[in-house]
Amino acid sequence: MITEAYASINSTARLAGGLYLAMAPFNVFGIIYVPSALTVHGDAAATSRNIMTSEWFFRSGTLIHLVGQIMFVFLVLALYRLLKTVNKEHATLMVVLALLGVPMAFLNEVNHLAVLQLLGSADTGAFTSSQFQAQAMLFLDMRESGIRLTQIFWGIWLLPLGVLVFRSGFLPRVLGILLAIAGAGHLIDVGTQLMSPGFATISQFTWVGELLFPLWLLIKGVNVDRWQQVTLARSVPSR
């Protein structure tokens, strides 16, 4: 039974690490690559032409991003199973904060779909082409702002995660510190971008924990002896 428990918890750790790493290219493709490839800043007409001539590519950005968010749900549940023995209240807080961003991300993609509907209606005569294109750019900007707001939850959930990892005893403490730094970087970026749009971001320098943590889970797993000790200690009722 103990051997089975060891194998089970390390399977969970490696599942979480694999999901974390697999999710990254989905988010990069949907949030960064597709918009950067199609958007011509300051030129609504060129941007609109790019979108309509590469509609499948534009739609794939939305689809891939949503798939990444679904993967994120399973990632958070796997981490909850792995870390709930450390502190169930903190683990629950981690799950709540993480999952709050998922419906926000889904709803935000409505802005992308609105762009296609607007540009597809440009021949109706209700507005001029330039007006449709200007409205499309507005929805693209709204989607970018929505991503920025969702980033609050992409950052804040890392704080209880970092605390759990730091206190776990079966994962390196430094990973917990790096995760907390990564979460703080996201939150600082949101604040600076809201107050001073275009201001340099710092999360590009603080993301290391979000790479090293899943790599550790995938390659090393957890210290199963320490995990068992923590689990047994939490299961013993206090007198």
Residue 107 lies in a domain: yes
Confidence (pLDDT) at 118: 86
Q: How many domains does the chain have?
A: 1
Q: Is residue 238 part of a domain?
A: no
Backbone angles phi, psi at 197, to 5 degrees: -55, 135
Low-confidence residues in the chain, pLDDT < 70: 1-7, 122-127, 235-239
pLDDT of 1 reads 46
Which domain range does residue 101 map to?
A: 2-230
Tokens of 88: 């169930």
43: phi > 0 → left, psi -120 to 50 → alpha, else beta; which? beta
The answer to whether residue 237 sits within a structural domain is no
**Residue 217 contacts residue 176 (beta carbons within 8 Å):** no
Instruction: State pTM to two decimals.
Output: 0.88
Tokens at 189, concatenated: 């970026």
**165-183, pLDDT tens digit by residue?**
999 989 999 999 999 999 9
